[in-house]
Chains A and B, each alone.
Chain A
Amino acid sequence: MAAHCESGTLTALLNHKGFTISEPMIFGMGSALYFGYLSHTPNLNFPMFILRTKPGKLRKKVAKRLGIKFKSDKFRSTEKAERELDDLISKGIPVAVQVDLYYMDYIPEWERVHANIHFITIVGKEGDHYIVSDSYFPKLAKLHKDSLKKARFAKGYLAPKGFMYYIDSVPKSVDQKKIIIKAIKETINNMIGIQPPFIGIRGMRMFGRKVVGWPKLTRDIDHLSHEITKINIFLEDQGTGGAGFRYMYATFLRQAAPLFNNTELDVLSKKMMEIGDGWRNISYFAAKISKNRDLGPDRLSELSKMILGRADAEEAFYKELKQVVNRLK
């Protein structure tokens, strides 16, 4: 299992290739930590927030920074896509594919939503079933080839178009320190740099302000309750390593600290853990008021204040991280 499908898949492929690295390190080096409040995206039914960079970006960043060479492909023909995948796995090469999570029928039904941004690793084939390693499932699973075909060629927002990739080569050595500094600086820029008003800390504040107006956007109290529950799902359950990736980023900073022999990064990793705890409180609070249908203006205002509080805490954190990273060598 892994905390997040994209970083987990990538980490598993790299480790299989003999390049030992942890998932938080991949996550941090790919500057994947992010925040965005999306309310005007045409394909979304309801405003939502995102906690990581656009799917695919993490892999590209890691490849560029670490000098990893991937082979990737998209397909128009489902037959060709299946043939190429079969060829690779018959050679013993594990292949990552992008799929619509809905068709992963080994996952409990209530977890399966239409999301074209899920990554799984195909490690083998037995008859008509593929052997799948999924970050969100504790053991190897079997998936019928027809389900995989539907999942790889689902249409809609961020359609996978049969996308698959595998690792061609990995570098013998990398300058981890240089990469970490660059990656942290980019994350700081994403969060407190000049960004559109719905991105980073400004996005968090927008989320905090807008959540009180969500009742106007919903059909009824049950619909509002469903959308408020999603706050918990995005922060905890949908591949976050907990607390909207904050725990994973704290682990990244903790793993980076000894490389620089820097205790300040250690202290900051502790602070990031605490920030994560604050996000976890928000997700638990959201789940609770949602179940109790306690969704009046007072409660939503309380939720809003908690989110705005996180934005303040994170802003202070990134400012401090900026000072520390500028001193790193």
Chain B
Amino acid sequence: MKEKDAFVDYEPHQLLLYVEREDGTYGPMITGSHLSKNYIDDYFDKMEKLRISLLQQLKENVISPVEYYRIIHDFNVFELSSRAGVSIFKVKRHLKVKGFLKAKVSDLIKYAEVFDVPVSNLFQVITVEGRDNETKDGVPNENKYRVKQSKTQNPSLVITKFELNK
């Protein structure tokens, strides 16, 4: 690839490519990501649509919160079981609504660790008025509010604060 063809002006996502320079030598050049520059909006759209569709299923009690986060994080059952340290049999059960209701808190804490959310978020969706169909993570460029969730020494307790962005 020629150096001039490789250049992409996109500062938020830089990467290093090996290119053919004008003098015929090969070497590295730092450039922007073509994909991030041209297609990132589509990625965000897809993720948002996926979240909304999963949230709808969650509200209708069709899927469990574990299944919701599993799909968002793109884990399969084996990977989730291995990461959480919960048996495959139990994971399969917890993906279903009935099984989730019988899950132990200790298992839910393990899932929450893997999904990188407070355990309380397996039982709630934090959103703002007018955005009822969107999850906290799915609010793009929300400038007015900021939600801050802090863990405590108690693994089942999280402090959720709504802050106004200044």
Seen from chain A, the residues whose Cβ lies within 8 Å of a Cβ on chain B are: 1-3, 23-24, 42-45, 102, 108, 110-111, 113-114, 135-138, 154-157, 159, 222-223, 225-226, 229, 232-233, 236-237, 241-243, 247-248, 250-251, 254-255, 269, 273, 276-277, 280, 284, 287, 290-291
Binary A-proximity of B9-52 (CB < 8 A = 1, otherwise 0): 00011111111100001111010011110111011101001100
Partner of A42, one of B25, B50, B78: B78
Q: How many A-B residue pairs have CB under 8 A?
A: 123
Query: Quick one: closest A residue to B71, CB to CB?
Result: A219
CA–CA, A44 and B44, complex, Å: 23
Contact of A291 among B39, B49, B76, B79 (CB under 8 A): B39
Q: A222-B49, A273-B1 are in contact. Are A237 and B79 (CB under 8 A)?
A: no
Instruction: Say whether A108 contacts B83, CB under 8 Å.
Output: no
**A241-B76 CB under 8 A given contacts A110-B40, A269-B26:** no
Chain B residues at the A interface, C-beta cutoff of 8 Å? 1, 6, 12-20, 25-28, 30, 33-36, 38-40, 42-44, 46, 49-50, 73-76, 78-79, 82-85, 114, 116
Are B85 and A225 neighbours in the complex by a CB distance under 8 Å? no
Chain B proximity of A111: nearest CB distance (Å):
7
A3 touches B17 (CB 8 A): yes
Q: Are A108 and B13 in contact (CB under 8 A)?
A: yes
CB contacts (< 8 Å) of B85 on chain A: these are: 155
Closest 5 CB pairs of A and B: A242-B17, A247-B18, A156-B83, A251-B26, A45-B76
Query: Taking the nearest CB of chain A, how far is it from the CB of B142, in angstroms?
Result: 14
Nearest-Cβ distance from residue A110 to partner chain B, whole angstroms? 6
A1–B34 touching, CB < 8 Å: no
What would be 10 A-B contacts, judged by CB atoms less than 8 Å apart?
A45-B79, A108-B13, A114-B75, A155-B83, A225-B42, A226-B46, A237-B33, A254-B25, A269-B26, A290-B39
Q: What is the CA–CA distance of A225 and B47 in the complex, to the nearest angstrom? A: 11
Establish whether residues A43 and B12, one from each chain, have CB atoms under 8 Å apart when the complex forms: no
Contact between B39 and A237, CB atoms less than 8 A apart: no
